[in-house]
Chains A and B, each alone.
Chain A
Amino acid sequence: MTSTLTPVRKRSALTKGQLPKAAPYIVLAVALVLGAAILALIGFNAFGWAIVSAILFAAGLVGWSLVVEGARKAKDKLATCLVVGAFLAALLPLFSVIWTVLVNGLPGLLDPGFLTTSMNGVTGAFDNKTVEEGAPLLGGIYHALMGTLLITVLATIISVPVGLLTAIYLVEYGEDRALARAITFFVDVMTGIPSIVAGLFAAAAFFAVVGPGTKTGAVAAVALSVLMIPVVVRSSEEMLKIVPNELREAAYALGVRKWRTILKVVLPTAISGIASGITLAIARVIGETAPILVTAGFATTINTNVFSGWMASLPTFIYTQILNPTSPSNPDPSSQRAWGAALVLIILVMLLNLGARLIARMFAPKTGR
Chain B
Amino acid sequence: MSKRIDVKDLNVYYSKFLAVEDVNINIEAKSVTAFIGPSGCGKSTFLRTLNRMHEVIPGARVEGEVLLDGDNLYGPGVDPVTVRSQIGMVFQRPNPFPTMSIRDNVLAGVKLNNTKISKGEADVLVERSLQGANLWNEVKDRLGKPGSGLSGGQQQRLCIARAIAVEPQVILMDEPCSALDPISTLAIEDLINELKDQYTVVIVTHNMQQAARVSDKTAFFNIAGTGKPGKLIEFGDTPTIFSNPTEKATEDYVSGRFG
Which B residues are CB-close (under 8 A) to A256? Answer: 81, 108-109, 112-113
CB neighbours of A251 from chain B (8 A):
97, 108, 112
CA distance A367 to B148 in the complex (A): 7
* Ranked 9 nearest A-B pairs via Cβ: A255-B85, A365-B98, A253-B89, A254-B109, A369-B149, A246-B95, A366-B146, A255-B84, A256-B112
Whose C-beta in chain A lies nearest to the C-beta of B111? A264
Which residues on the B side are within 8 Å of A265 (C-beta)?
A: 97, 99, 112
A250 touches B99 (CB 8 A): no
Q: Is the interface of B mostly helix, strand, loop or mixed?
A: mixed
Given contacts A247-B97, A268-B99, A365-B99, contact A254 B112 (CB under 8 A): yes
Write the chain A residue with the least CB distance to B80: A252
* B108 A368 Cβ-Cβ under 8 A: no
Interface string of B40-72 (1 = CB under 8 A from A): 000000000001010010100000000000000
C-alpha spacing A250/B96, complex, angstroms: 8
| One of B19-27, B158-166, B188-196, B205-213 at the interface | B158-166
Contact in complex: B93, A255 (CB < 8 Å): no
Q: List 23 A-B contacts (CB under 8 A).
A: A244-B95, A246-B93, A247-B98, A249-B95, A250-B159, A251-B97, A252-B56, A253-B51, A253-B163, A254-B88, A254-B109, A255-B81, A256-B108, A265-B99, A269-B97, A365-B146, A365-B148, A366-B98, A366-B99, A366-B101, A366-B148, A367-B148, A367-B149
**Which residues does chain A contribute within 8 Å of B98, judged by CB atoms?**
247, 269, 365-366
Chain B residues 138 to 177 lying within 8 A of chain A, measured CB to CB, are 142, 145-146, 148-150, 159, 162-163, 166
Query: Which residues of the partner chain B approach A367 to less than 8 Å between Cβ atoms?
Result: 146, 148-149
B residues less than 8 Å from A261 (CB atoms): 112
- Minimum CB–CB distance from A351 to chain B (whole Å) comes to 27
A248 at the interface (CB under 8 A from B): yes
Q: How far is the CB of A124 from chain B (nearest CB, A)?
A: 59
A254, closest chain B residue (CB): B109
Roughly how many angstroms separate A253 CA and B163 CA in the complex, as a whole number? 8
What residue in chain B is nearest A269 (Cβ atoms)?
B99
A175 CB within 8 Å of chain B: yes
Contact string, B86-110, partner A, CB cutoff 8 A, digits 1/0?
1011010101111101000000110
Within 8 A of B (CB), among A163-177: 175-176
List A residues 204-263 near B (Cβ within 8 Å). 244, 246-257, 260-261
A253 with B113, Cβ < 8 A, contacts A246-B91, A268-B99, A365-B146 known: no
**Nearest CB on B from A271, distance (A):** 8
B56 CB contacts on chain A under 8 angstroms: 248-249, 252
Contact B99 A249 (CB under 8 A): no
User: B162 near A252 (CB under 8 angstroms)?
Assistant: no
Most buried by A among B82, B112, B149: B112
Q: Which residues of A contact B145 (CB under 8 A)?
A: 368-369
Of A175, A253, A261, A268, chain B has the most CB atoms within 10 Å of the CB of A253
Which residues of chain B have C-beta atoms less than 8 A from A248's C-beta? Answer: 56
In the complex, which residue of chain A has the Cβ closest to the Cβ of B52? A252
* Cβ of A251 to closest chain B Cβ, rounded Å: 6
**A257 vs B109: C-alpha distance when bound (angstroms):** 11
Q: Least Cβ distance of A24 to chain B in Å?
A: 44
**Are A255 and B113 touching (Cβ within 8 A)?**
yes
Interface centre among A246, A247, A250, A254 (most CB of B within 10 A): A254
Minimum CB–CB distance from B151 to chain A (whole Å) comes to 9
**Do A254 and B91 touch across chains, with their CB atoms under 8 A apart?**
no
Bound: A176/B58 CA distance, A: 10
**Using Cβ atoms and an 8 Å threshold, which residues of chain A touch B96?**
250
Q: How many residues of B contact A (CB 8 A)?
A: 35
The answer, among B86, B97, B150, for a CB contact under 8 Å with A250, is B97
Contact A252 B53 (CB under 8 A): yes
Question: Given A257-B81, A257-B113, A366-B148, 15 more contacts at CB 8 Å?
Answer: A246-B95, A247-B98, A250-B108, A250-B162, A252-B56, A252-B81, A252-B84, A254-B88, A264-B112, A265-B112, A269-B97, A269-B98, A366-B98, A367-B149, A368-B146
**Per-residue interface assignment for chain A, residues 260 to 283, with 1 indicating a CB less than 8 Å from any chain B CB and 0 otherwise:** 110011001100000000000000
Whether B88 pairs with A250 at a CB distance below 8 angstroms is no
Q: Least Cβ distance of A208 to chain B in Å?
A: 41
Is B99 in contact with A253, judged by CB distance below 8 angstroms?
no
Closest to A246 in B: B95
A23-B98 Cα distance, complex, nearest whole Å:
49
Residues of B within 8 A of A365 (CB): 98-99, 146, 148
Quick one: closest A residue to B82, CB to CB? A255
Q: Residue on B with the closest CB to A268?
A: B99
When distances are taken between beta carbons in the complex, the residues of chain B under 8 Å from A249 are: 53, 56, 89, 91, 95
Given the complex of chains A and B, what is the CA–CA distance between A264 and B142 in angstroms? Answer: 23
Contact with B along A98-125 (1 / 0, CB 8 A): 0000000000000000000000000000
List the B residue with the shortest CB-CB distance to A177.
B58
Write out the residue numbers on chain A whose beta carbons fall within 8 Å of the beta carbon of B111. 264
- Within the complex, the shortest CB–CB distance from B98 to chain A, in Å, comes to 4
Taking the nearest CB of chain B, how far is it from the CB of A180, in angstroms? 12
Task: Indicate if B137 sits at the interface (CB-CB under 8 A).
Answer: no
Q: Looking across the interface, which residue of chain A has its beta carbon closest to that of B93?
A: A246
Shortest beta-carbon distance from B152 to chain A in Å: 13
Among A250, A255, A369, the residue within 8 A (CB) of B142 is A369
Set B88, B142, B150: member contacting A253, Cβ < 8 A: B88
